Chain A
Amino acid sequence: MATPVPVLEDYRYVKERSVDAPTVVDSAFVSEEVDVAGTSVERHNVEAPMPSASEAQVSVASTSEDKFIKLFARLKSLQRLEDDWNSYGAAAPNRKALYWGHSVLAALFRVNLVPAAISASSDDGVGITFRESNRRAAIECLNSGEVLAVISNGTFGPYVWNVPTDPMEIKRAVEEIKSFLTV
């Protein structure tokens, strides 16, 4: 039998994190989520949150700003998808996935790391993909509220870790991905 590909347990990113860390969500968001529990239709009417004033003050090159304007619009357009958008049974991104997808995108904007693609995830949620020569990374913000990150290159990985849903942790994960991609 071939040697299994290791995924967890043996990487510094994983060791630094608690997979069981409590989920921290903005209180306003939680109350909204409770209001729409059990209604699948409302998901498509939800506006993704926009960058805050402090986010908008971050200084980056205008070309990057243009790219991020498109990326935030791209994230918003994922709201229009319907369930089974890929014909393989994937659910459309819900409010939780869009919320954390926005949080990730805001963190990327702050460190000026432009992803290669933003799309819905086949595992129900939002998927953000990075490519830098043979280095790959992805962040998936799932409808369950979980955020997963994966990195790999031609010689090691993939390594997967669970990113606690806290803005500081997301910022940290984004910085680590940037560091991995730009070494």
Chain B
Amino acid sequence: MPDIPPPLPPRLRRGNRQPVQDFSPDEVLYLRVPPLQLDEEELDFFPPTKIPSPAFSVNRGRFSEPQDVIINRPGYGIAAFIVRDVPPSIATGPNAVYEFRVVHEPCEVYCNAITRNEPCDCNYAHSEIQVFKDGKKIENNRVPKSVKPAFKDILSKKILIIQQPSREPYES
């Protein structure tokens, strides 16, 4: 019988709270660091090649605790950066400027509770680093491949590992 994941702690449940698109430049954002493979050395930095490319999910520090990002994720570590660490934009040419924004999106795509103005148990701290071109949001597969390493390089200089991941098989 499959394990039933424990419910989110009350601080994370959205209930009927609405998104808040007001981000302090100093607000901390959290993401997961994947477990280390058996032969992988523990590093004191987050390799840029491992940082997810936008769009990717983070938890807002304003509405969550660091460990909330690894609920139901045994072996994972925690990394953090602040809102102002996100590069405002990256250009690949005079008419190709890609902007990055942190967007508070508590509900998953399949949950329409917010638009129906109903309460739900989605992760209220959930946000995304999203990409915009000419003011329109674009999906990850539309972001040029040259932009992604640049974004990850910039963020890697700021991001901190605040809890190291475990090694596989997961250490208790």
Q: Report Cα–Cα, A4/B97, bound state, in Å.
A: 7
Task: Please indicate which of the listed interface residues B43, B48, B90 has the most CB atoms of chain A within 10 Å of its own CB.
Answer: B48
Number of cross-chain contacts by CB at 8 Å: 123
A164 neighbours in B (Cβ, 8 Å)? none
Give residues 63-109 of B contacting A (CB, 8 Å). Answer: 73, 76, 87-93, 97
**Residues in chain A near residue B87, CB distance under 8 A:** 5
Q: Is the CB of B90 within 8 A of A122?
A: no
> Chain A 1-17, CB within 8 Å of chain B: the 1/0 string?
11011111100000000
A138-153 to B contact mask, C-beta < 8 Å, 1/0: 1010100010111010
Q: How large is the interface on A (under 10, 10 to 19, 20 to 34, 35 or more residues)?
A: 35 or more
A117 at the interface (CB under 8 A from B): yes
One digit per residue, 1 when the CB lies within 8 angstroms of any chain B CB and 0 when it does not, for chain A 150-164 equals 101000011011100
Contact A136 B156 (CB under 8 A): yes
**Size bracket of the B interface:** 35 or more
Q: Write out the residue numbers on chain B whose beta carbons fall within 8 Å of the beta carbon of A146.
A: 145
Q: Does B164 contact A (CB under 8 A)?
A: no
Partner of B49, one of A6, A9, A138: A138
**CB pair B90 A81 closer than 8 Å:** no
The docked-state distance in angstroms from the alpha carbon of A128 to that of B49 is: 7
CB-based contact B32/A87 at 8 Å: yes
Contact present for B91 and A5 (CB under 8 Å): yes
Cβ contact of B153, chosen from A4, A77, A85, A158, cutoff 8 A: A158
CA distance A116 to B34 in the complex (A): 18
When the two chains form their complex, are residues A2 and B38 in contact, meaning their CB atoms are under 8 A apart? no
B120 at the interface (CB under 8 A from A): no
Q: Does A172 contact B (CB under 8 A)?
A: no
Query: How far, in Å, is A66 (CB) from chain B's closest CB?
Result: 14
Residues of A within 8 A of B (CB): 1-2, 4-9, 70, 73-74, 77-78, 80-81, 85-88, 90, 116-117, 119-123, 127-129, 131, 136, 138, 140, 142, 146, 148-150, 152, 157-158, 160-162
Nearest 6 Cβ contacts at the A-B interface: A127-B49, A4-B91, A158-B153, A4-B89, A2-B88, A150-B149
